[in-house]
Amino acid sequence: MPTSRRTFIASGAAVAAVTPRKYLSSAYPPDKLPAALLPRERWKPYPAASERAPWEGLPADVRKAAVEAAEAQLGKPWAPLPATLFLEYRRIGNRSNYERVRSRRREQLRELVLGECVEGKGRFTDEIVNGIWTTCEETFWGVPAHMGPQKAGVGLPDATEPIVDLFAAETASLLAWTWYLLKPQLAAASPLVPERIRLDIDRRVLTPCLTRDDFGWMGLAHSNPVNNWNPWINSNWLTCALVIEMDEKRRLAAVSKILRSLDRFLDGYHDDGGCDEGPSYWFRAGGSLFDNLDLLQSASNGAMDFYKSPLVREIGRYIYRAHISGNYFTNFADAPAKVNMSADLVFRYGRAIGDETMAAFGAWAAAAQKAGSERTESIGRNLPALFNLNEIRKAPRAEALVRDVWLPGIQVVAARRKAGSAEGLYLAAQGGHNAESHNHNDVGNFMVYAGGEPVIIDVGVETYSAKTFSSKRYEIWTMQSAYHNLPTIDGVMQAAGRAFAATEAACQAGDRMVEFRLNIAKAYPPEAGIDFWRRTFRFDRTENRIEIADAYSLNKPANRITLTLMSASKPIDEGGGRLRLAGSTGVRFDAGALKPSIEEIPLEDSRLRGTWGERIWRILLVAERPPREGRFNLVISQS
């Protein structure tokens, strides 16, 4: 929303888009692709390692860092990936130990490749060959959690039926770019090496993706929504098809199929571009959509340009609309509260759609991260970032601190006291439903920040395990509504499923006041006994005060209603219906109706600790023997 006075109202439960979109495949059907797409031999997106001038023209500090990173890999062993490590996922539910080792292998190879391209002396070639050979010898390029049904309960991959998951596709892309950048050097070591890359990519990715429609992420054999897997895998498949597919007919067929699959991804988005997976996943949802569009534009010499699409533009803008301050983002669902942005991607996406706010936000993040000093992305993002460094370092930069956001499709609202500043309070709240991608049972949840720092929080999710995406997902405490900022009635929490949703959602925003209201009764199962639970958020910018007003009606008596607030810092009970939260921020409530208690929650999980530290706190405001109809009011303010 702009800063001028304006009102936005939308109602009803958030629903998935139902009208099939053909933005990409209809613009370039199979008969139009040959004229648009450059043949493989003519497509030169980046200089090969043998083209020295561009690599030697990179900023000196970046060249030095790349060479030092590669030198650190020399003499370092390639860690083994034994079957027993793979089997830990099935045996004890641990997926991290295997993933950590395989990811380290990929990082090792990536650093060597980039170091050799920058230096160009052949010092790293033999170790690159070792990395290629080691990778090609792996039975499965993906991870055990992504295998799907496992034959005979053994829990090991079936080498005769390649499964294309996120990380198999990422591995293929890494090897394809290695082939593109260093093919003559690899062939000089042994002609078997580049040919081994080509054959393995074809067997593991190109042929399975071209001949099969039953990979769920494609969205081609079913009508179910697809998530970030779709554009993420498609971007890597597209890379392999464009770079390494020798048969031009198969290359064109792959691109055509990718366009149809990406259309299925767009089907799941509302016109506002809101990402129900959250901001961290946006970098592999909307962000990977951009990876695809960027590759297509490059490989067609600019002919395939989809950036005028309103939906593509809105999907891009989501990332700065979800920004709170610094590296804090609105983290509903599995998203973490702290996100290290892919700064160059945000910058280039902003430039592509002509959004100066987005481009400046990417440039701001690049400066904050000292862009070019380290790489945590895939090589397909490292390359454009390296050759874009001079531009991004000179570009205007500004943190994106938009005043108001209303995304009616996913029913997310956010507001701050004033545009362009983290000063004062910040509110984000959501409606939606409990079958969203990476869902937590959290309809009606909210978060409050003060001066850009967390006060009332969404905890996020622990390190993924076998349980995270199993039938036992909602046994995990971080997924439950009782550990979000929501009511619990006699111990009954919200339930999972598409039917458990907000209704009557509406938002109004003006210069002084923002109001978001919704009915969260249907998010609870019948045993909660709720006729209606209307929750209203009012943010008075002038007074720098947020009110959460709950009006409810029960169809049976309740012994206890508990309002939960999750706190980033230790609350202090000052008595008389006032709790002191972080800094000068406090919450007031009716002490006659609600009795407070405070629980300390030690955090053992490394993922949660990385965001919140060693502990968080849970505030329980309890109403004993409440009336069947009533109201609760909480007021959050800064003194």
- pLDDT tens digit sequence for 63-88: 999 999 999 999 999 999 999 999 99
- The answer to whether residue 487 sits within a structural domain is yes
- Give 20's pLDDT tier (boundaries 50, 70, 90): low
Q: Is residue 235 part of a domain?
A: no
Which pLDDT score, from 0 to 100, does residue 291 have?
A: 98
Per the domain annotation, does 470 fall within a domain? yes
Per-residue pLDDT for 18 more than 70? no
CB-based contact 179:194 (threshold 8 Å): yes
The answer to whether residue 33 is domain-embedded is no
Residue-wise pLDDT tens digits, 247-304? 999 999 999 999 999 999 999 999 999 999 999 999 999 999 999 999 999 999 999 9
Domain that holds residue 586: 404-638
- Residue 576, both tokens: 């008389």
pLDDT band at 15 (very low <50, low <70, confident <90, very high): very low
- Would 263 be classed as within a structural domain? no
Beta strands 487-489 and 446-450: pairing type? unpaired
Residue 412: how many other CB atoms lie within 10 Å: 27
Q: How far apart are CA 549 and CA 89, in angstroms?
A: 45
Distance in angstroms (rounded) separating the CA atoms of residues 170 and 611: 27
- Does residue 393 belong to any structural domain of this protein? no
Q: Identify the CATH number of the domain in which residue 513 sits.
A: 2.70.98.70
Q: Residues 354-410: pLDDT tens digits?
A: 999 999 999 999 999 886 655 667 999 999 999 999 999 999 999 999 999 999 999
What would the pLDDT profile of 120-130 be if each residue is shown by its tens digit? 999 999 999 99
- Give this prediction's pTM: 0.94
Q: What angle do CA 183, 77, 125 make, to 5 degrees?
A: 20
pLDDT at res. 500? 97
| pLDDT reported for residue 224 | 87
Cα angle 130, 131, 135 (rounded to 5 degrees) comes to 120
pLDDT tens column, 570-624? 999 999 999 999 889 999 999 999 999 999 999 999 999 999 999 999 999 999 9
SS3 at position 291: helix
pLDDT at 6 over 60: no
Dihedral over Cα of 588, 592, 593, 599: its sign: positive
Residue 565 inside a domain? The answer is yes
* Sign of the CA dihedral running 275, 276, 282, 284: negative
pLDDT(149) > 60: no
161 — pLDDT class (breaks 50, 70, 90) = confident
Q: What is the pLDDT of residues 180-222, one digit of tens each?
A: 999 999 999 999 999 999 999 999 999 999 999 999 999 999 8
> Which amino acid makes up residue 436?
E
Provide mean pLDDT across the span 412-427.
Answer: 97
Helix (H, G, I), strand (E, B) or coil at 206: helix
- Alpha-helical runs (H) found in 369-505: 379-387, 389-394
Residue 20 lies in a domain: no
Task: State residue 41 phi and psi, 5-degree precision.
Answer: -65, -25
Please tell me the predicted confidence (pLDDT) of residue 30: 96
Write the DSSP string, 603-636: ---HHHHHHH-SEEEEEEEEEES--SEEEEEEEE
**Residue percentage of the chain with pLDDT more than 70:** 94
Strand partners, 554: 530
How crowded is residue 636: how many other Cβ atoms within 10 Å of its Cβ? 24
Tokens of 437: 């991608």
The Cα–Cα gap between 372 and 606 comes to 27
User: What does the pLDDT read at residue 582?
Assistant: 87
pLDDT at 148: 64
3-state percent helix, strand, coil for the chain, nearest multiple of 5: 40, 20, 40
Identify the residue whose tokens are 């991290």: 96
**Total tally of structural domains belonging to the chain:** 1
Which class for 127: exposed (0-12), middle (13-18), buried (19 or more C-beta within 10 A)? buried
